Amino acid sequence: MPRSIWKGAISFGLVTIPVKLYSATEEKDISFRQVHPEDGGRIKYKRVCEKCGQEIPYAEIAKGYETPDGRLAILEKEDFEALPLATTKAVEVVQFVAEGEVDPTYFAKTYFLQADGPGVKPYVLLRDALLQSEQCAVVKVALRSREAMALIRPKEGVLLMHTMLWPDELRDGAFAAPPAEVTVSDAEVKMAQSFIDALSGEFHPEEFTDSYREALEQVVQSKLSGVEMEAAPEVESEAEVVDLVAALRASVEAAKKRREEAKESKAV
């Protein structure tokens, strides 16, 4: 069982729900070390003070905030622990909203909430109330030295908490929008919808795999075993698309063919 990363309580009106917080996700990637290629020795970094030139142990390093006029405020661990924030050990419910009202762009990280000790019954109360009302709780919580908005929602018997970015942390994407004078015809839109229909279906994430990580693992094993890998097949470069309708029609046919092949392979 994973270790909890935070303990506190959800304030649900006058009801207090003691909870533990666990990370709900883990990134699975191949990690590399920086090494000297001639002898395989690891490359190490030293934390050196630019003024005195001394190497400083990690435990003795403090955080400093430099103001625009050059003044430096040095903050110690005790300063962060003494922050005048009510949310450091409490999850404060500030609003209830329908899940669809929150733009997924706001979501940062997902956590499991587990009832702690006497918090089991009020935990179940909040979970079932959210389920039956089809609502989610917007909360404020302080995690990892910063306060965040978050969304609490029930899923498969558990309360999930999605930490969220603040509105001023979302960039304005207007620069990426195509020019207003660029338009498409009804025929092009209908053919695009045909392609969407051809690939529409229920979302089953377990059917997808990380092809890049799998290929990288093969390269690593090839290096360790000393056996050269077969050369990857060359991908034919596609011609420039001139007729969108014709290109989409071909895409629809290819999508249908892939689906038929996938069904046949499952049936075997």
CA dist 145 and 171 (Å) reads 23
Q: How confident is the model at residue 268 (pLDDT cuts 50, 70, 90)?
A: low
Q: Name the amino acid, one letter, at 48.
A: V
- pLDDT tens-digit readout, 202-249: 888 888 888 878 888 888 888 778 877 777 666 565 555 557 778 778
CB 163 within 8 A of CB 143: yes
| Residue 91, beta-bridge partner list | 10
Average of per-residue pLDDT across 136-149: 86
Q: For residue 16, what is the enclosing H or E element? A: strand 15-23
Which pLDDT score is estimated for 52?
A: 92
CA dist 246 and 237 (Å) reads 18
Domain boundaries, the chain: 6-25+82-168, 178-230+239-267
- pLDDT tens-digit readout, 176-210: 999 999 998 898 898 888 888 888 888 888 888 88
Which pLDDT score is estimated for 159?
A: 97
Q: Strands 15-23, 6-12: parallel, antiparallel or unpaired by DSSP?
A: antiparallel
- pLDDT tens-digit readout, 10-65: 988 888 999 999 999 888 888 888 898 888 899 988 899 988 999 999 888 888 98
CB under 8 Å to 106, separation ≥6 — which residues? 149, 164, 165, 170
In the block, residue with structure tokens 């890049």 = 212
CA 33 to chain centroid, in Å, comes to 24
- Please state which CATH class domain 6-25+82-168 belongs to: mainly beta
CB 56 within 8 A of CB 47: yes
Backbone angles phi, psi at 71, to 5 degrees: -75, 150
Q: Name the amino acid, one letter, at 92.
A: E
* 143-181: burial string, b at 16+ Cβ within 10 Å, e else: beeeebbbbbbbeeeebbbbbbeeeeeeeeeeeeeeeee
Pair of tokens at residue 147:
């306060």
**DSSP per residue, 73-100:** EEE-HHHHHT---GGGSEEEEEEEE-GG
